């Protein structure tokens, strides 16, 4: 039994490697050493980093910037722990990453953005690029400087040609996607007045929901993140002027006031949210949700009913944003988290479809004003294009144990 399971895993790994080789392309890391003098550093004091694949042809003046994901740290202990990983230190990041999906340089796999300047900013601050505390923690020697990192890398890109951008998108995955929402209007303000600038959130619409035990753990967690990192001054003032800063980490309280066009790609049954907001370990001490969280096919009828309730809360938060002629959304019913950075979910023959449309086409049509895409999938399990996916591409496994 064990041998057979190992053989199956090996087949999966080999298949994934083959897909990366055929569908992705390697891009080397760039360390922004000049940022250190500005105090724009990772949690451990190392320089920020990014991967930059230059645009070509008609795309040389177009910029796509993706902010990496990887959850958050909410106190001195959890942030110190991250300094021992690539989520807190650029010293521990891999030197080369594979660009695929919306970062692909092939027209076949990414028809609308393949020849743009495509950048992936690495995530090493634990605050969705919002923190800025001048003093260094004397006990842990941890730096809380996420907002400075955002500013430093943007200055670098402007100097590298983004100041002449004709088209630009600020995007992200998970915690990076939340950062794209929070920095959306700020990003637009950096670019030429005549540029077409929009923002894309992939799996970043985290909602303020209670756990299966009825506790508001994610609300308290976000409040701790904001307090630890000194994030309040870098959150949208349109929100902090009316709500507590911790509540302004929730897109449902921020997105309505964003002036820059925003597109939301999200699974209504977001696998990360189910695992960490609805049914975190602290709310499930007996582990009755463990198998369900790993594979939606193993959920009991009662657990599926609870998940349907979560979907209803998600849609209520989304609808609470109100109508918008510039906002787009692609809310499918896959059990997934982050769907734009993986070729299989972005654009392939077997990719998920909503209203007979791939994510790639929906985002491209919205950006170029070919079609305003605003679609919500039917409830699980009616969508057969999902194939029960549980992708968490671009996301470091993080057990937040909320």
Is there a catalytic annotation at residue 270? Answer: yes
The structure tokens 């039917």 sit at: 378
Is there a catalytic annotation at residue 183? Answer: no
Is there a catalytic annotation at residue 337? Answer: yes
Annotated catalytic residue, options 46, 127, 128, 174: 174
Shortest CA distance to 71 belongs to which of 218, 208, 199, 198? 218
DSSP secondary structure code for residue 47 in this structure: P
Asked whether 218 and 402 are in contact (CB, 8 A), the reply is yes
Annotated catalytic residue, options 337, 351, 393, 394: 337
Shortest CA distance to 383 belongs to which of 348, 345, 344, 352? 352
**d(C-alpha 120, C-alpha 201), whole Å:** 14
**d(C-alpha 125, C-alpha 132), whole Å:** 10
Which residues, 6+ apart, have CB-to-CB distance to 321 below 8 Å? 252, 255, 256, 327
Annotated catalytic residue, options 156, 270, 377, 394: 270
How deeply is 369 buried, as exposed, middle or buried, from its count of CB atoms within 10 A (0-12, 13-18, 19+)?
Answer: exposed
**d(C-alpha 376, C-alpha 354), whole Å:** 8
Residue 387 φ then ψ, to 5°: 55, 35
**d(C-alpha 117, C-alpha 167), whole Å:** 10
| DSSP secondary structure letters along 340-400 | SSSHHHHSSTT---BTTB-HHHHHHHHHTTS---EEEPPSTTS-TTSTT----TT------
How deeply is 295 buried, as exposed, middle or buried, from its count of CB atoms within 10 A (0-12, 13-18, 19+)?
Answer: exposed
- C-alpha dihedral sign at 50, 51, 56, 59: negative
Residue 172 φ then ψ, to 5°: -175, 170
**d(C-alpha 170, C-alpha 181), whole Å:** 9
DSSP H or E segment with residue 29: strand 25-31
List active site positions: 174, 270, 337
């Amino acid at each position: 039994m064990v041998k057979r399971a190992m053989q199956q895993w090996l087949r999966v790994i080999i298949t994934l490697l083959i897909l990366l080789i055929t569908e992705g392309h390697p891009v080397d890391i760039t360390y922004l050493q000049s940022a250190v003098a500005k105090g724009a550093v990772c949690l451990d004091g190392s320089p920020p980093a990014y991967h930059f694949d230059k645009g070509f042809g008609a795309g040389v003046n177009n910029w796509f910037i993706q902010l990496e994901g990887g959850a958050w740290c909410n106190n001195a202990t959890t942030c110190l722990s991250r300094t021992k990983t690539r989520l807190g230190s650029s010293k521990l990041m891999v030197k080369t990453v594979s660009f695929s999906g919306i970062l692909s340089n092939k027209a076949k796999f990414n028809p609308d953005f393949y020849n743009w300047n495509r950048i992936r900013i690495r995530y090493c601050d634990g605050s969705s690029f919002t923190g800025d505390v001048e003093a260094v923690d004397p006990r842990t020697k941890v730096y809380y400087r996420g907002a400075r990192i955002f500013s430093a890398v943007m200055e670098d890109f402007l100097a590298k040609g983004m100041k002449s951008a004709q088209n630009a998108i600020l995007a992200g995955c998970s915690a990076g996607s939340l950062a794209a929402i929070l920095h959306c209007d700020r990003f637009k303000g950096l670019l030429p007045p005549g540029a077409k600038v929009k923002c894309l959130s992939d799996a970043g619409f985290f909602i303020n929901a209670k756990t299966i035990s009825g506790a508001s753990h994610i609300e308290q967690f976000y409040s701790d993140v904001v307090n630890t990192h000194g994030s309040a001054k870098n959150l949208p003032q349109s929100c902090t002027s009316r709500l507590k800063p911790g509540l302004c980490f929730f897109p449902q309280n921020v997105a309505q006031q964003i002036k820059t066009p925003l597109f939301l790609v999200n699974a209504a049954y977001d696998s990360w949210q189910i695992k960490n907001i609805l049914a975190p370990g602290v709310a499930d001490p007996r582990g009755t949700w463990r198998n369900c969280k790993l594979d939606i096919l193993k959920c009991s009828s009662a657990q599926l009913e609870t998940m349907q309730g979560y979907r209803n809360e998600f849609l209520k938060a989304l609808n609470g944003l109100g109508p918008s002629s510039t906002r787009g959304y692609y809310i499918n019913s896959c059990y997934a988290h982050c769907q734009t950075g993986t070729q299989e979910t972005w654009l392939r023959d077997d990719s998920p479809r909503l209203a007979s449309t791939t994510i790639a086409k929906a985002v491209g049509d919205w950006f170029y004003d070919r079609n305003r895409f605003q679609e919500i999938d039917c409830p699980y399990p009616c969508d057969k294009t999902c194939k029960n996916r549980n992708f968490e591409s671009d996301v470091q496994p993080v057990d937040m144990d909320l």
